[in-house]
Amino acid sequence: MQQIIYFIRKFRYFLLFILLETVAFIFIIQHHSYHKSKFVNSANSVTGGIYNTVSSVNDFFLLKSENERLIEENTQLKNLLNKRDINFNQITFKVNDSAKFGQKYEYTVAKIINNNYTNRNNSLTINKGTNQGITSDLGVINSKGIIGVTKSTSGNYTTVLSILNNNSKINVRLKNSNHFGTLIWNGKDYNILQLIDMPRQAQIKIGDTIITGGKSAIFPEGITIGTVKDFNFENNQYQNINIKLFNDMSAIGYVQIVKNLERIEQLNLENNTINE
């Protein structure tokens, strides 16, 4: 016993180092697994509060680009409305009583208060949390494309796993055909993402538009993401398909969080099918 105490006293400095280093590695490993990063994240009130204060100043400089984006989106929505009018005239449609009947997605607006895009694994912090009904695994988009998926939440803040992350895999498809692929990021340029798992039957051309596929329960189908910049076709396989994003990930201000109201229903059904 005395030997052990002597040993601990003699090496306590080294043992303390090992102990703290182990704690740090536990945090790193927890952070890598998707749902467990409960402790070390910027969604708590101290870091979130500081970021919120600073971003209220930075906002001022983003006003111009944010306005331009809003005007663009307004034009797009007006065009959409006009198309609707024509359709309404042609076919009869019935009005449902219940306010939310048939509504599949619900959108919440949020402001980005911290944005990283130069690391290998990037994340963002937004100023809405569980008090506003945000949970983990919700899609985050803006009018030009997708931003990421929510990860950890606190009362008023949420961290978002950016699409510029090693752990991010988004189901996408070509706009003009129904071939699905997966969108990943190789960590080099924050405007260029990579498309993998494209079947060789797909006809890809430079300039083709990529949109979200409806396979996942997170993003609605048909959100535009970017265009094909270049690719190689070797051994009858598509390789190195680079996608240029419509979004400038370095300058995003306001985003929308998409809540899929039928998500639980869909996931339960899929789980049951797998288990059978």
β-sheet bridge partners, residue 238: 233
- For 275, the enclosing helix (H) or strand (E) is helix 263-275
Judged by beta carbon, residue 114 or residue 216, the one nearer another protein is 114
239 binds another protein (CB under 8 A): no
> Which has the closest alpha carbon to 56: 129, 113, 126, 123?
113
Spell out, one character per residue from 113 to 152, where the chain touches another protein: x when CB under 8 A holds, - when not: -x-x-xxxx-x-x---------------------------
Q: In this chain, which stretch among 46-54, 103-111, 133-141, 259-267 interacts with another protein, using CB under 8 A?
A: 46-54
> For residues 240 and 180, is the Cβ–Cβ distance under 8 A?
no
Kindly give the residue spans of alpha helices, DSSP state H, lying in 2-128: 2-10, 12-32, 45-90
Of the pair 6, 27, the CB lying nearest another protein is at 27
Residue 27 Cα to chain centre, angstroms = 22
Instruction: Pick out residues in 177-206 that bind another protein (CB under 8 A).
Output: 187
Give the shortest CB-52-to-another protein separation in angstroms: 12
44 touches another protein (CB under 8 A): yes
- The angle, 0 to 180 degrees and rounded to 10, between the axes of the packed helices 2-10 and 12-32 is 70
Phi, psi of 111 (to 5 degrees): -110, 140
By CB under 8 A, how many residues form the interface with another protein? 37
Q: Would you count residue 10 as binding another protein (CB under 8 A)? A: no
271 three-class SS: helix
The amino acid that residue 228 corresponds to is V
Burial class (CB in 10 A: 0-12, 13-18, 19+), 39: exposed
Amino acid letter at 87? N
Smaller CB separation from another protein, 123 or 168 = 123
Interaction between residue 13 and another protein (CB under 8 A): yes
Q: One symbol per residue from 88 to 107: x for binding another protein (CB under 8 A), - otherwise; what is it?
A: --------------------
| Under rule CB under 8 A, residue 8 binds another protein | no
- Of 10, 21, 71, 75, the residue at the interface with another protein (CB under 8 A) is 21
Q: Which parts of this chain interact with another protein (CB under 8 A)?
A: 12-13, 16-17, 20-21, 23-32, 37, 40-42, 44, 46-47, 50-51, 54, 114, 116, 118-121, 123, 125, 159, 187, 250
